[in-house]
Amino acid sequence: MFTLKFFKYTSDAEGDCTIQETISCPNYSTYTRDSGILTVITYPSMTNENGVDRNIGEFYNDEEDFSVCYVENSAGKTIDKFVVN
């Protein structure tokens, strides 16, 4: 099982804010579009079906995109980091 931690850093009239979404899943994949958008897809099973897309970067859809994603293995060790510069 993997734990994916998605973070978004924003600012508004109240000040700076960090939004975190944490997902546990047995399978995930990534792909980068020609435009440079990095997408992380999480799956509820070991098959690549019925996945949920989450975009990394702030240039596609600001309301839904995340700034960075950290992936932890079942032992809690960070094994990957997805970020778009």
The CA distance from 65 to 2, in Å, is 20
User: What pLDDT, on the 0 to 100 scale, is given for residue 34?
Assistant: 84
Q: Which of 21, 30, 80, 78 is nearest to 53 (CA)?
A: 30
Provide the whole-model pTM.
Answer: 0.84
User: What pLDDT, on the 0 to 100 scale, is given for residue 64?
Assistant: 67
User: What pLDDT, on the 0 to 100 scale, is given for residue 18?
Assistant: 85
User: What pLDDT, on the 0 to 100 scale, is given for residue 84?
Assistant: 75
What is the chain's pLDDT, residue by residue, as a tens digit (85 residues)? 999 999 988 777 777 878 899 999 999 999 988 877 899 999 999 988 999 999 987 655 556 689 899 999 999 999 999 987 6
